[in-house]
Amino acid sequence: MNKIFALYKNELIKISKKNSVFIFIVLIIVLCFVLAGYTKSMEVAQSRFLNSVDQNQWSKDDLNYQLEDQLAAKEQIELQITGTADTPENQMELVSLAEQQASINDQIDMLQTALDKEIYINSEGSYLTDILSGLPALKADIRALEVAEAQSPNAAQENSLLVKKQLVSDYQAILDSKDFKEYVRIESDSINNDNTLSTSEKDIQIEYYSLWYKLDPNGMSQARDAAQSVTDMKRSLIDEIDYTSMSQGMTPMTPSQISDMENRLAVAEYKIQNNCLNLSDSVGYSWGSLDTVFMFGIYVIALMMLVLAGGAMSQEISSGSIKSLIIAPVKRWKIFTAKLLSLLSVGLLALAVLYIFGMLAQGLFFGFSSIPYVYASHGVAASIPFGFYQILSLLVSYIDIIVYTVFAFMLSVLTRNTAVAVGISIAAYFGGSTALNKMMELPSYEWLNFIPFASMSLNGRVFPFASMMLSLSNMDSGLKSASAFKAPGVTFSLIYLAVLLFCMTYTGLDSFNRRDLK
Amino acid sequence: MRTWALIWGDINMATALQISNVSKSFDRKKVVDNISFDVRSGEVFGFLGPNGAGKTTTIKMVTGFLTLDEGNITINGYDRIKNYEKAMGCLGGIVENPEMYKDISGRVNLEMYARLHEGVTRERIEEVVALVGMQERINDTVKKYSLGMKQRIGLAQALLHRPKILILDEPTNGLDPAGIRELRDILKKLAHEENVAVMVSSHLLSEMQLMCDRVGVINKGRLIDVKTIDELTTLASGAVIYRILTPQTEKAAAILRTVYPDQIRAISTDFLDIEINREIVPAAITLLAVSGIEIFGAAKLETSLEDAFLQITGGGLTIE
């Protein structure tokens, strides 16, 4: 053990004297600040652009433009109506034209109201824009009911007509008062009074409005989307049909999908309860900057490790410096082990540099983030603080680097040729992620699991809720068709990689132990 | 000095390095063929042979670079394979050129090597640095060293852990004459005063002659002989070659043949070489003089190791 430690210490001294390591570490640090600064400049440019245009004026112009359109359409319709003779055979057409006229009037009404009350439909949405854009449809319903009522009156129709008319006037009152609380109350009431809905559906819908209010008492649309996602998940769980992703269609969910959904819901609810839901754009930039920094940082670290590992043994052999190691009273496996350990610890050191400077750069440009990583299993949610989650996530990314480092090291021992070892391992590293993506397009063959690439890039599998850190509705699970190849689970992958690492280490060690150093 | 080693050799010189029946092939070509010899504590053992004879291959098998196809090697009583670390702990050496980490200073190189041995103190490092005379340049990076300086640092590294056996492959490479002399003194001192077994390989035979107590001669993978320097220089019979300068070589040869048949070694136009024992020289010269041969001079031909070596390896002569 002492010998291994002594060798390990020597290896660290040797690596520390290498210019390439120094250059890579500097590159990582520079990268952290450059990428974070770049993202910051994007954010600044975006907000400068938004500020340079008067949003309200722009919306107003847009509304006016639409209004002109509608007014023109109205004239057209009026001309058509006056041009059509009021004969029995033209009755159907006249009715349809009248309906078109009424709906255009509603549109004009809506646009006019929007202009008057300064509710800008096309800018960031809120409950007010919801009401406004819903009004024409509601009015059309009322007209249809009135026609039906005139032909064959009945109590249910009359009641529904009354309710809808009440709703219109309530809505109009809210457009004046701009009272979101009142809107929530009215919606809840109307859901309660709607006898066509089941009790559970009523609960879900009422909860939706109260959640919306809870998330944002101003009733803006981001909160609505979040509330909508939660509601969708709840509804999916009740019906056991996935409503959260578009492509899944209306197929029933499998038990594993159900438990997935339960966990996602638990995560969403945990975030709402603990107020760690982020509804602003700047979080996205801050997040994106760190994401980019870490992604590129990992690439640089991988490159550095492959360059170091690919030359670790072959360079010593070709330069002859291995001689002083061989003649020393240490067994060859100890030399091998110490070299491998020193390589991996240099990688960890680089990872620490990346973490510290990445977080620092994000903190300097965007302020230190505190969004926790929330995860759930068996429907019970818990959270990991932001900084700690980032450490774990980097360590999981490091698993791939370990595998490729050992691969490069093995090649270095086997071929005793630095160029071959570095070249092949870099090709494998950058080809690997592409290969995995290609594999995802294949049908789900069992043997695909045993291709090494399938067990790599574990981040998404170890932290499946990472995509929910920014927004609740941004789920990525539903995008792939159910029959396509799905990467194996974390446990399988870890066992597979452990076996793979063992085999590569053993091959390298055996070769190093037996082969002559001529 | 040689006599010293010889006298004490049989009494208290333990075998430090034992090589028995070692063979090695590369690509089915036998490079080392069934070699056996011992190196004893307190002697400088020269390992001699022309280029490609198998010297470095043998040394690399001892130092752990190459595996053995056959045979075994014992270092200070430890088997080189079964008891690897203990065996190698008794061994110091330079194989081919001294190689060190070029971006690191000589001192750190030594420190790194010291770490792999037990009981090498900081003072010991200073001591060996002083011994090889590198105090002034020890903190420079190795890439700034000349070949001679690298040799010195290599020697310092090999001596760092006070090895029982010191193996040096072509140690005088790159050293200036003063350096060679210094190295010679160091090695002799180590062997004769500190009882280290020193094994030196070289093709600089004159150098070996001044340095070694015994030599093993290797050619084409086979060990031809192990002899003391004296044994080698005095040929097998113990006879010495004398050169007699005379213009009448043919006549002189004829006369000598009558008394000493088969002992004329060479006949030229103005000299002839005869191999006879020292005691007989006056009688032989008298015989010639009496026969009326004009003798301009007679002298013992100093048989150098080089001659012996060429005779042994080139002439295919085996001396048993």
Q: What is the DSSP string of A224-247?
A: HHHHHHHHHHHHHHHHTB--S-ST
Higher pLDDT, B247 or B312: B247
Residue in A13, A324, A330 closest to B99 by CB: A324
Lowest mean pLDDT among A446-450, A451-455, A472-476: A472-476
Q: Are A466 and A294 in contact (CB under 8 A)?
A: no
Asked if the model's pLDDT at residue A401 lies above 50, the reply is yes
Distance from CA of A349 to the nearest CA of B (A): 21
Would you call B116 and A7 a contact, using CB atoms and an 8 Å cutoff? yes
Please report which confidence band the pLDDT of residue A338 belongs to, taking 50, 70 and 90 as the band edges.
very high
Contact: B96, A320; criterion CB under 8 Å:
yes
For residue A515, give the 3-state DSSP assignment. Answer: coil
pLDDT band at B309 (very low <50, low <70, confident <90, very high): low
Q: Write down the pLDDT at residue A478.
A: 43
Quick one: average pLDDT of A260-280? 82
- In angstroms, the Cα distances linking A84 to A72, A91, A96, B35, B264 are 19, 10, 12, 122, 149
- Average pLDDT score over chain A: 86
pLDDT reading at B63 higher than 50: yes
| Chain A residues inside the 8 Å CB shell of B93 | 327
pLDDT band for position B318 (50/70/90)?
very low
Q: pLDDT grade, residue B19 (50/70/90)?
A: very high
The CA distance from B63 to the nearest CA of chain A, in Å, is 6
A327 part of contact set with chain B, CB < 8 Å: yes
| A331 inside 8 A of chain B by CB | yes
pLDDT over threshold 50, residue B101: yes
pLDDT value at residue A376? 87
Report the gap between the CA of B120 and the closest CA in chain A (Å).
Answer: 13
- List, as ranges, residues 239-258 from B with C-beta within 8 Å of A: none
Inform me whether the pLDDT recorded for B240 exceeds 80: no
Q: Compute and round to an integer the Cα radius of gyration of chain B.
A: 24
Question: HSE of B232 in the Cβ direction (CA atoms, 13 Å)?
Answer: 29
Answer whether residue B270 shows pLDDT above 80: yes
- CB distance from B25 to chain A under 8 Å? no
Cβ of B112 within 8 Å of Cβ of A13? The answer is: yes
Contacts with B84 from chain A: Cβ below 8 Å: 329, 331
Q: What pTM value is reported for the model?
A: 0.82
A-B C-beta contacts closer than 8 Å: 77
Residue B204 clears pLDDT 80, i.e. is over it: no
Question: Average of pLDDT values for A494-509?
Answer: 96
Mutate to test the interface with B, among A1, A324, A512 (most CBs of B within 10 A): A324
What would the 3-class secondary structure string for chain B be?
A: CHHHHHHHHHHHCCEEEEEEEEEEEECCEEEEEEEEEEEECCCEEEEECCCCCCHHHHHHHHCCCCCCCEEEEEECCEECCCCHHHHHHCEEEECCCCCCCCCCEHHHHHHHHHHCCCCCCHHHHHHHHHHCCCCCCCCCEHHHCCHHHHHHHHHHHHHCCCCCEEEEECCCCCCCHHHHHHHHHHHHHHHHHHCCEEEEEECCHHHHHHHCCEEEEEECCEEEEEEEHHHHHCCCCCCEEEEEECCCHHHHHHHHHHHCCCCEEEECCCEEEEEECHHHHHHHHHHHHHCCCCCCEEEECCCCHHHHHHHHHHCCCCCC
Segment among A149-158, A308-317, B152-161 with least mean pLDDT: A149-158
pLDDT at A480 over 60: no
Structure confidence at residue A124 (pLDDT)? 67
Which of B35 and B238 is assigned the larger pLDDT?
B35
Q: Which domains does chain B have, with CATH numbers?
A: 2-233 (3.40.50.300), 240-302 (3.30.70)
| CA–CA separation, B282 and B288 (whole Å) | 10
Percentage of the residues of chain A whose pLDDT score is greater than 70:
95
One-letter identity of residue A425: S
Which residues on A lie below 8 Å from B63 (Cβ)? Answer: 326-327
Q: Looking at per-residue confidence, does A48 or A121 come out higher?
A: A48
- Residue A428 predicted with pLDDT over 60: yes
Of B63, B87, B102, the CB nearest to A326: B63
Among chain B residues, CA nearest to A17: B103
